[in-house]
Amino acid sequence: MSHNRGKIGVCLAMATALVSCGTPAENTREQGTRSTKAPDPAAAEQPASPPPTPPGALPRTGEVARIPKPADGLPPVISKIPTKRKVVFLTIDDGWEQDPHFVDFVRTERIPIAVFLTRDAAEARGALDPTVTGGSYIGAGKYPYFRKLRDAGATFENHTLTHPNMRLLGYEAQRREICGASAVIAKQIGVRPWLFRPPFGNLNTATRRAAKECGIDAVLLWTATVQREGKIAYQVPDKRLYPGDVILLHFRPNLAEDFRRLVRKIERRGFELGNLDAYLKAAGVRPRAR
C-alpha cells in the first residue's frame, strides 16, 4: 500500500463508515488485490468472502495518543491503549478449553477478540497453565476450533509454544518459543502474529530482542483479568474500568457463559468493545503486512 502518512489517522477513523484510505481508484485497486489474492493453502477453511468490516469500535480521528517508540529500537511493552473514550479491549489467552458456544457468541454478536495462542494449549499437550484452574482439556480439538474463531473475526497473536516463564530462559530458548509459535499460527490459522504476550506477563530485554527477531512489533500485557462468572479482577484499587483497558481472559470451561456476563457488564457500564488492531495502528504501533 502506498498511503500518505498524514492520512492514516483520518483513514482509520473513517473506516467505521466503510471508507478506506486513498483515492477511490486506490480503494478499488486495494479491494481488488485483496479479493483476487491467491488462496493460501495454509489458511484452510477460510471463507470465500470475509466480513466487510472487522468487529468492534474503531478509533475516531485524533482519539488515540501515540505510543512512543522505545529508544532501544525494540518492540514497546503496552498494557493499555491511550484513549479517553470509554472503550476496552478483550484478549483471550492459551487455548486449553474449546467451548463451542463461545464461537457462536463471538460470531453472532460480532465481539472483537484477540486470541493469544499457546501451541501446547491448542494441541492439549504439555503442562496445563497453572492460572487456568479446573481446566481439563475439555473439547480440545486442536486448530479447527480456532479457525472458526478466526472466521468469526478474531485475530491471532503469539503466546509461545510451551508457556514457559520467559525470564528463566536465555535468549536462544526465548527466540525458539516465539518464532516457533508464530510459525505454527501462520501454518494453522493462516495469519502471522505481530503481537506477543509473555506467559504470566514475565519478560526481560532478551524477550523483546527475541520478539523483534521473530517479527513481533509490540508486546501486549493487560490492565484487568477476568475470573469465573465474569468477575473482573482490577489492577487498580477503585475497582473501575478505565478507557483503554486491556482485559485478559482464558479459554476456561464455561467460557461462553462467563464471557456473556462479562460483555453485558462492560456494556452496562457504558463501555464499548474496541478493535485492538485498529487502535494500536492509530497509536502508531504499525502491524507488519501479514
- Give the distance from CA 74 to its chain's centroid: 20
Q: Is 164 in the site for Zn ion (CB under 5 A)?
A: no
Give min distance, CB of 159 to Zn ion, in A.
Answer: 6
Give min distance, CB of 90 to Zn ion, in A.
Answer: 15
Give min distance, CB of 182 to Zn ion, in A.
Answer: 16
Give min distance, CB of 129 to Zn ion, in A.
Answer: 5
Q: Is 277 in the site for Zn ion (CB under 5 A)?
A: no
Q: Is 199 in the site for Zn ion (CB under 5 A)?
A: yes
Closer to Zn ion by CB, 196 or 271: give it: 196
User: Which residue in this structure is represented by grid cell 488485490?
Assistant: 33
Q: How many residues bind Zn ion (CB under 5 A)?
A: 3
* Helix/strand/coil for 156: strand
35 by Cβ neighbours in 10 Å (0-12 / 13-18 / 19+) ranks as exposed
* Helix/strand/coil for 33: helix
Asked if 21 contacts 6 with a C-beta cutoff of 8 angstroms, the reply is no
Alpha helices (H) along the chain: 8-14, 24-36, 100-109, 119-122, 143-151, 171-189, 205-213, 255-268, 276-282
Give min distance, CB of 231 to Zn ion, in A.
Answer: 19
Q: Is 135 in the site for Zn ion (CB under 5 A)?
A: no
For Zn ion, what does the binding mask look like between residues 62 and 101, x meaning CB under 5 A? -------------------------------xx-------
Closer to Zn ion by CB, 87 or 218: give it: 218
Q: Is 258 in the site for Zn ion (CB under 5 A)?
A: no
Query: Alpha-carbon distance 28 to 157, whole Å?
Result: 29
Which residues sit at the interface with Zn ion, rule CB under 5 A? 93-94, 199
